[in-house]
Structure 1
Amino acid sequence: MPRFSIIVPCFKVQGFLRECLDSVLEQSYRDLEVIAVDDRSPDGCGAILDEYAALDDRVRVLHLPENAGLGRARNAGLPHASGDYLFFLDSDDTLTPGALRAMSDRLDEAADPDVLVFDYARTYWWGGTRRNALAHVLADCGDATFTAAEHPEILDLLMVVWNKVYRRDFVTENEFRFPPGYYEDTPWTFPVMLSARRIATLDRICLNYRQRRQGNILSTTSRKHFDIHDQYERVFAFVDSRPELAGWRPYLHRKMGDHCLDILAKPDRLPPSDRGEFFRRTAELFARHRPAGEPVPTELRVLQGPYAAYVAWRQGTRAGRELARRAAQARGAAAERVRRGVSVVQSRRPLDPRLVVYSAFSHRGVLGDPGAVYRKAREIAPQLRGVWVVRDEETADRLPDGVEHVLLDSPAYRRVTARAGFFVNNVNWPGTLAKRPGSVHVHTHQGTPLKHMAADLLDRPGARHGVDVPQMLRRADRWDHSLVANPHSELVWERAYPCHFTSARTGSPRNDVLVNADAQAGPLARARLGIPADHTVVLYAPTRREYVRGGHVDRIDLARFAAGLGEGHTLVVRLHPSLATGHARGMGLSDLHRRGIVVDATDVPDVEDVMLAADVLVTDYSALMFDYALLDRPIVVHADDWAAYAASRGTYFDITAEPPGHVSRSYEELAGLMASGSWRDEESARLRAAFRERFCVFDDGRAAERVVRTLLLGEEMTGPATVRVPAPAVPGDVLASR
C-alpha cells in the first residue's frame, strides 16, 4: 500500500502535462502511485499518459469514454486509489522538489491526521512567482492537530482541493465525492474541513499553482458560473445532515454571499445579459439560507434589494473610488507644497555640526556599518546627537532603548535631514533628500564586491533589470567619503561609482566585532541561537541569482546536507536579505527550522552574531566570505553554477581560481569535503591566508573609531598597522576607463 495516491485528471493540457508528471515521478520520495484520468481529452494527453505508464509501473491510466468534467474525473480515480492519503493534483500544476518527503514527514509527526494543509506559490506565465499571502496561517496554527472550530482561520485559506492531502479512510467513511459543474471544490472542501477531527498544517510550499495566461475555466465568460448556486446548496444540505455542524451556518452564509458577489463583480465571468439573473438567484439563495436572528453584514446588504440598486451601488463604488483617488492626489499635491515650504525654511537655518543622521538597509534599523559607527560615537563622542531614519512604526518598535529616531518622510525627518551636519548610510538616501553645502555624507557600502555593481552593470542588462543606474549615480554624487576595507574595494567603488567622493581606508566598522572577538564570543553567539556549545556549526549562506526571476535557486537539498553532516553538527542557514521576504523560505527552510533539522538565521538582525557562531562557512558567491575571513576560520565555496552566475551578473575576479578555501563543483564534492574533514586541512589554511592578505588589510578592529574620529570629529588617527597594496584585484579590462 503506497503512502500517497495522486489522482491527476487531464483535459486539454498536453503542453503542461509532462512537467506535471515529471514533478511527481522525480520526487526523492518514491512511495506513491499516480492515477491519471484521461477525461476524453481531444489533444495528446491520452498518449502522453500511456507513454508514462509504459515507463513507470507507479502510473496507472484511466481513459474515460466521454468527457465527465473535473470533479467526476477525480471521482473516477477514487476507486482505484490504494494509498494512505489522497492527493488531487491538477495536471497543469507541479510539485516542488522534496514536497512529498516533507508531507510524509509531517504526517508521521502528526500521527496521520485526517487532513494535511500545505502551502503553495502562484507561478505566472510571464515568469513571476508569488507565495500565498496567507501563508502565516499555516504557522500560526501550531504543531498540534486541531479542528476547524479550534482554528477557524484555516478556512480563510484558498478553499481548493489541491492544497491538501486527505486520509483515504476518512474520505471513504464520510463518502465524500465531487459534484459535477464549475466550483466543484466548494462542496468538497467545506464538508471535508468541517468534518475533520484532526487537521495538521505544513508551512512549506509544496505546489506551484500555474497562473495560465488563458485557459482557466473559472476566468471564462459562461453561464456555467451559475453552478456556484447549486454548489452552495450542496454545502448547506451537508450541514443540515450533520446537526453538530449547525453552528457553521452563519459563517457559510456570509461566505456564500461574498463568493457570489465576487463572481458578479468580475466583468469576464458572465455575459452582460445574464448578470441580472445571476444577481437575483444569488439574492434568493442568500435569503433562503439566512440563519434566523443573524444580522446581515453591511457589505452584503445589497443582496436584500433589487438588481438596479446593486448596479447603482457598484457604479457608486467606482465613482467613490475615483473621487477618493482624485482627493488623494489633491492632498498629495498640497502636502508636497507644504513640504517644499518647510524645506525652504529649514534650509535657511544653519547646519548642526553635532547632528548625525543614520540609516541602514533601506531604513530597517540599527544595523551594519552605520550601526557600528553609531554605537562607537555614543561611546567616544557623546556630544554628537545620532538620529536614525526608520521606515515605519513596526521598525521603530524594534529599536533598542534610547535610540532617537524619525519616520521616513515625516515632518521630523524633513527637519533633521535639513539641518544635519553628517549622514551615514549603507544604501543611497532617497532622491528627495537635497544635500546642503557643508553637510558630509559617509557611505559605508555593504561589503567587499565580487559581483558587478552600479555603472559596471550597464553592460549586464539582465543583472540591472529594475535598477536605474543613472539615478543611482546621481544619488551617489552626494557622497563625500566611501569606506573601503581593502585596495580591491577602493578600485571597484571608484570605477563603479564615477563620482566626486574620497575613498576612506577605514576598514568595515561592522567587522570590528569579528576582529576583536575573544574566546567567549563564539559560545555566547551559539547560546543566543540555541545551538549546543559542543556542536560543529556549519553556516550555509547562499546569494541571489540574476539568471532566474525572483533570484532564488535551490542549489542544495538542505535536509540531505544536514543529515550528511551527522551527529554533533548543526547546519545554520542565512538567506540573502533580498530573499528573506519572498517564497524562498517557504520552499522548505521554514519547515526544517520548525523541526529542528536546521537553524534558519535569516532574521537574526546582526549577521556578525551568526558568523561568530560558525566553525565553517559554506557559501557560493556571497560577499559574506570577505567578512568571515577575518575570523580565520575555514571557508568552502560551492560553485556548481559559477559559469552561469558569472555570465549573468558579471564578477570582478574568478573566485574559483582565487578562493578562500576549497571549491566544490557538485553536491557530491561538497559532501565529500565535509565528510572527510578536508574542509579544514592545510590546503584550506593556505588558500585562506592568501585571501586574507588580499582582502583583510584595512580591518584592524578600530574601523568604527576611525570613522568617528577622522570623519565626524575631524581628528587625526593612524591607519591600520600594515597597509600593503597587492596586485590589483580587478582585471585590466575592468579598470580601463569607459
Structure 2
Amino acid sequence: MQPGLSVIVHGPDPQGRLGELLDSLSAQPFAESEVIVAAVGDWARQQAERRAAEDSRMVVLPLPEGTSDGVARAAGAARATGRWLHFVHAKDGLPAGALRIVADRTTELGDSADVLVVDHVRSTWQNSGAPGGDGRFLARVGRRAVPLADSPQLLRMTPVLGNRVMRADFWRSPDVHADIAGEDVLDDEAYTALAVLLHAGAIASVDQVAYEIRDLREQSLPPVAPAQRYAVIDRYERLHRLLDGRDGRDAPDGPKSVLYDVMVRDLLRTFARGGMPEPVAREFFRRASRAAVRRRPSHHQRPAGLDGIRHSLLEEDAYTKYRAFQAANQKRREVRSVVAAGRRQVGAKLRDHRYRRALSEPVDAELAVFSAYWDRGVACNPAAIAAKLTELAPHIHPVWVVSRHKAALLPPGTDHIVAGTRRYWDVMARAKYLVNNVNFPNSVVKRPDAIHLQTHHGTPLKRMGLDQLDFPAASKGLDFEALLARIDKWDYSVSANSHSTRMWERAYPSRYTPLDYGYPRNDVFYSATAADVRAIRDRLGIAPGRRAVLYAPTHRDYEAGWTPRLDLASLADRLGEDTVLLVRGHYFYGGAASPLAGLRRSGRVIDVSSYDPVEDLSLAADALVTDYSSIMFDYANLNRPIVIYADDWETYAKTRGVYFDLTAEAPGHVARTQEELAAVFESEAWRDEASLKSLTAFRRRFCEFDDGRAAERVVRRVFLGESEESLPPVVPVDERTPAPAPSEATA
C-alpha cells in the first residue's frame, strides 16, 4: 500500500546529530509512513543502517562522501513512494509527535493543497527549543487551504524546506521540477523553500511545532565564498522572475510586495552580518542596490524609522553613507549601553538606599509576603497557607510577589507587588512573614524579627541542594555558597514525611526548625467532595463514566526542552475510546510551544500543561502515570492507582542523582516501554492486588503527615505562635478518608 507520507532525511552526520534524529523518528511509530535516509558518507550510512535494522519503515540510500544537500534531497525524493514528502536535514530534529501531526494533516488535506506549512522551534549550541517566530503567520491562515495571493505573509516564514511538506505529485510536476532542479539553485534551500510557495496552487497550514531547526555554530562551518554572497541577490532576481511569470499583478500587499520586503531585509542582513572583505562588500552593496531599485513595486512604502533609512540608502547605492550610518548606530548603542549601565548603578544605589531606610523601620507584625515558583503567582503550598491564614488570622494581610507578566493572571482582588519595584522593596523590608516554596533573592535581607517560612514544592526523589555537588548536570553551575546563605535565612521548613525531613537536613544544613506537618497543598485531597470532583471533571471536559489518566512527567536535566516521551496518540488508541489522557508538561517549560495541540481534537487527549492548580487534575484522574515527578507522592494521598513509566531510569539516576531506587520501591507497576505501559492498562494490572499493595506501602512512607490539616498546623504554629503540643495531631494514614474517586463521585 502506498504510504501517505515519506520523510526524507538527507545529508551527512553533522556533529553527531543524525543518530538523534533517527532515534526520534523510531520513537514515533506510524505505520502509514516511510523514512528514506539519503545518507551522505560512510558514517551517516552506518548510523542509518543500524537504525533501519530495527525499524522496517526506514530505507537507507547510501550516497558518496561530499554529495551536496540538493543532490541528496533529490535522490531521496526520487526513491520516495509516499503521497506527501517531508524533507528533514540530518542536522535538524523532529519533536515528539511531529510525525503524527504532519501525517494526520496531510491525510485530511488529500489533494486539496500542494504545500503544507508547519511551525518550528530553533536550537543552537547555547539554547534549545526557542520559538521560531512563524506562528503568527500560520495563525492567520487557520485550517483553510488558500492561494498565496490570499496569504502572502507566508513568504515571510523561515525559508527552509523542513517547515514545508509537499504533495509528491506537485513536487514532481514539470514546472516545479524544472525550476528547482537546475544546477544553479539545486543547493539553494532558501530558494526552493520560497519557490514552492510561489508555484503552489493552494497552501495549507498547521499551527503546531513539527520541526526543529538546529543551527550549527558559525565558526564550525566553512567560510563563505564571495560567490555565495552574490548568489543571495541572484536568488531573489530569479524568484521575482518566477512571480512575474505566474502573476504580474502589483497589489500593495500582494506576494510581489511581500517578496520585495523579504528580499531587501535578507540583503541588508547579509551585508550587515556577512563580515565581507571591503571589495566584496562594495560589490555586494552595488548589486543589491540595483536589485532593490529594479524590483521595487510601484505601490511599495518604505518602513518607518531606522529600517526606512537603511532601505533608502540601499536604493541610492550610498555605500559610504551606509557605512557611516552603521558606525553611528554602533556608537549610539555603545553610548546607550554605558548610560543604561550607569542608570542601573544609580538605580541600584537608590534602591539600596530606600531599602536600607525601610529596613530601619519597625517590622509590620500584620504583613505577610507570599511567593511561589519564582514569582509565578498564587500556587502550591504558599497558596494553601495564605487561604488558611485568611480564615484563622484575618488580621494578617497577605501580599503576593509576582513577575510583571504574570500580574494580570492573579485572582481578582489579590494584593501584589512586582519584583524590583519601589513598593516591592518597601514591603519586603517591613513584612514580618516571608513565605516561599523556593528561595527569595540573595538581595532580600533577613531581619532578626522577621520569619522566613520555606514550604518546598515536592518530596525529593532526585538529589537536592548540596547533594547536587557530585552531579554537575543537575547543578549547572549553582553557586553553593550563595545557596547556603539563602538557607540560613530560613526559620521553618515544612515537610510532608520523615524522608523529606532527613533529606532537607542533609541537602540544606542550617539552623531552621523542621515542621513535620504535611504539605498544605495536599489538604484538598481530604476536604474535596464528590461534587467537587464532578465539577473539576466537567471543567476539564471529561464526560461522565470515562476513565481519566493523568500523565505528568518531570524535567530532565540532561535535556534542554520538554517533549512527551510517549507517542500519546498511539497510547490513547490502545487505552480505548472510554479513556481520556490528561497530559501535563513540567512547569519549567510553561512558555514553550506545546507539541500536543493537534491531539486535542480527538477529545481523548487533553493538554493540561497550563492548568492550575495541579491538585484539581489529581482529583479528576482515576489513575496517574508519571516517571520521576514528585506529583506521585502527592497523588498517593488519594489512594488511587499510580503507574511509573521509567524508560530512562538508569540515565536519570546517573545524571540527576536520586535518593532511592524508585523501580524497587514504586507505588505501583513499573513500565519500561510504551508497550509495557499500554499492557498494564489493557490487562487491568494498573489496579490489581499487587498494585494496591505497593501503593499502601508507599502511602505509609511518603504521605506520613498529610492528613488534611497541614495548613492549619502551619498557620497556628508560625503565624499565631501556638505551641507544638496544642496543634491538631496527625491522623494515621490507615485512618484517613481521602476524596472520593471519580467512579465514586457519580451523581
**TM-score in terms of structure 1 length:** 0.88
2:680 to 664, 673, 679: 673
Cα root mean square deviation, aligned: 3.3
Cross-structure match for 2:323: 311
- 2:585 maps to 575
Q: Alignment partner for residue 499 of structure 2, among 488, 494, 497?
A: 488
Match of 1:538 among 539, 545, 549: 549
Shift of 1:15: 6.8
Moved more, 697-706 or 305-314: 697-706
2:385 is aligned with 1:366: no
* Structure 1 residues 333 and 62: alpha-carbon distance in aligned structure 2, compared to 1, 3 A threshold: closer
CA distance in 1, matches of 2:115, 2:675: 37
Structure 2 Cα separation of the partners of residues 692 and 456 of structure 1: 25
- In the other structure, the counterpart of 1:175 is 175
Counterpart mapping for 1:685-696 below 5 A: 685-696=692-703
Matched, 1:590 2:597: yes
Q: How does 1:341-420 map to 2 (within 5 A)?
A: 341-392=353-404, 394-420=405-431
After superposition, the C-alpha distances for 1:659-700 in whole angstroms (9 at most, x for unaligned) are 222223333332222111121122222222222222223222
Equivalent residue for 1:649?
Answer: 656
For residues 107-140 of structure 1, what are the alpha-carbon distances to aligned partners after superposition, in whole Å with 9 as ceiling and x for unaligned?
123344321122444454x585324432643466
Q: What is the deviation of 1:343?
A: 1.3
Query: In the alignment, what sits opposite 1:456?
Result: 467
Deviation per CA, 1:156-204, whole angstroms, max 9, x where unpaired? Answer: 3212222211113334557123254478334433343245454333355
Deviation at 1:402, TM superposition (A): 0.6
Of the three residues 294, 299, 302, the one matched with 2:300 is 294
CA distance in 1, matches of 2:167, 2:600: 26
- Choose 480-489 or 29-38, whichever is displaced more: 29-38
User: Aligned pair in 2 of structure 1 residues 693, 5: CA closer, same or farther (>3 Å)?
Assistant: closer
Q: Is the 8 A contact 2:496 2:517 kept in 1?
A: yes
Provide the residue aligned with 1:145 in structure 2.
Answer: 145
Q: Secondary structure at the match of 1:473?
A: helix
Cα deviation for residue 621 of structure 1 reads 1.5
**Distance of aligned partners of 1:257 and 1:214 in 2 relative to their CA distance in 1, 3 Å threshold:** closer
Partner of 1:239: 243
SS at match of 1:280: helix
**Judging changes above 3 Å, is the alpha-carbon distance between structure 1 residues 363 and 161 closer, same or farther for their aligned structure 2 residues?**
same
Residue number in structure 2 paired with 1:561: 571
Q: Distance in 1 between matches of 2:16 and 2:618?
A: 46
**Displacement of 1:96 after TM fit?**
4.9
CA distance in 1, matches of 2:668, 2:445: 45
Query: What is the distance in 1 between the residues matched to 2:666 and 2:44?
Result: 52
Q: Please state how far the C-alpha of 1:28 moved relative to its aligned partner.
A: 2.8
Q: 1 CA distance for matches of 2:655 and 2:12? A: 38
The answer to whether the Cα contact below 8 Å between 2:9 and 2:35 also exists between their aligned partners in 1 is yes
CA distance in 1, matches of 2:103, 2:668: 38
Out of 339-348 and 127-136, give the one that drifted further. 127-136
Matched with 2:720 is 713
Q: Is the CA contact 2:463–2:658 (under 8 Å) kept in the aligned structure 1?
A: yes
Supply the distance in 1 between the matched residues of 2:71 and 2:428 (Cα, whole angstroms): 65
Quick one: percent identity of the two aligned structures? 39
Q: Is the 8 A contact 1:46 1:63 kept in 2?
A: no
Distance between the aligned counterparts of 2:437 and 2:51, measured in 1? 57
CA contact (8 A) 2:289 2:314 kept: yes
Indicate whether 1:200 and 2:200 are aligned. no
Give the superposition deviation at 1:233.
1.0
Partner of 1:340: 352
How far apart, CA to CA, are the structure 2 residues paired with 1:623 and 1:54?
37
Q: Which runs of 5+ in 2 are unaligned?
A: 735-747
Structure 1 Cα separation of the partners of residues 495 and 380 of structure 2: 14
What is the letter of the counterpart of residue 133 of structure 2? L
1:438-449 correspondence runs (5 A): 438-449=449-460
For structure 1, which runs of at least 5 residues remain unmatched after alignment?
A: 727-738
Q: 1:432 aligns with which of 420, 425, 443?
A: 443
1:220-273 deviation line (CA, Å, top 9, x unaligned): 2433210111111111112222336532222222211110011111144x3332
SS of the equivalent of 1:532 reads coil
- Residue 423 of structure 1 aligns with which residue? 434
Specify the alignment match of 2:743 in structure 1. Answer: none
1:1-80 aligned within 5 A: 1-6=2-7, 10=11, 28-31=29-32, 44=42, 59=59, 70-71=69-70, 74=73
Which residue in 2 is equivalent to 1:729? none
Structure 2 Cα separation of the partners of residues 324 and 278 of structure 1: 30
- What is the CA–CA distance in structure 1 between the aligned matches of 2:46 and 2:462, rounded to whole Å? 44
- Larger deviation: 603-612 or 86-95? 86-95
Q: Secondary structure at the match of 2:699?
A: helix
Which letter maps to 1:222? P
1:733 alignment counterpart: none
Task: Report which stretch shifted further, 17-26 or 248-257.
Answer: 17-26
**1:122·1:130 contact (CA, 8 Å) conserved in 2?**
yes
Q: CA 1:62–1:631 in 2, change beyond 3 Å: closer, same or farther?
A: closer
Q: Following the alignment from structure 1 to structure 2, what is the Cα–Cα distance between the partners of residues 346 and 237? A: 69
| Number of the residue aligned with 2:289 | 283
Asked whether the equivalents of residues 668 and 695 of structure 2 are also in contact (C-alpha less than 8 Å), the reply is yes
Q: 1:262 to 1:638 in 2, by over 3 A?
A: same
Q: Secondary structure at the match of 2:282?
A: helix
Within 1, Cα distance between the matches of 2:480 and 2:448?
24
1:329 and 1:208 mapped to 2: Cα distance? Answer: 36
Asked if structure 2 preserves the Cα contact closer than 8 Å seen for 1:29 and 1:98, the reply is no
Cα 1:381–1:58 shift into 2, 3 Å:
closer
TM superposition shift of 1:517: 1.6
**CA offsets 1:450-485 (integer angstroms, 9 cap, x no match):** 211101112222221232222122111111111112
- Displacement of 1:302: 2.3
Matched, 1:520 2:528: no
Letter in 1 for 2:245: S
The amino acid that maps onto 1:519 is A
3-state SS of 1:672 partner: helix
Between the aligned partners of 2:588 and 2:188, the Cα distance in structure 1 is 39
Distance 1:54 1:527 in 2: 45
**Deviations, residues 365-424 of structure 1 (Å, cap 9, x unaligned):** 1111111111222233222111111111x3111111110111110001011111111111
Measure the CA separation in 1 of the matches of 2:330 and 2:146: 41
Letter in 1 for 2:566: I
Contact 1:544 1:553 in 2 (8 A): no
The equivalent of 2:628 in structure 1 is 621
SS in 1 for 2:358: helix
- The alpha-carbon distance between structure 1 residues 399 and 155, as it changes in their structure 2 partners (threshold 3 A), is farther
Other-structure match for 1:130: 129
Task: Give the distance between the partners of 1:459 and 1:189, measured in 2 at CA.
Answer: 47
Correspondence for 1:701: 708
Aligned to 2:159: 159
Conserved in 2, the CA contact under 8 Å of 1:700 and 1:721?
no
- Secondary structure of 2:580's counterpart equals strand
Secondary structure at 2:324's aligned position in 1? helix
Contact 2:27 2:567 in 1 (8 A): no
Aligned-partner Cα distance in 2 for 1:36–1:674: 36
Which is worse superposed, 435-444 or 113-122?
113-122
Specify the code of the residue in structure 2 equivalent to 1:224. Answer: Q
The one-letter code sitting in structure 1 at the alignment partner of 2:346 is A
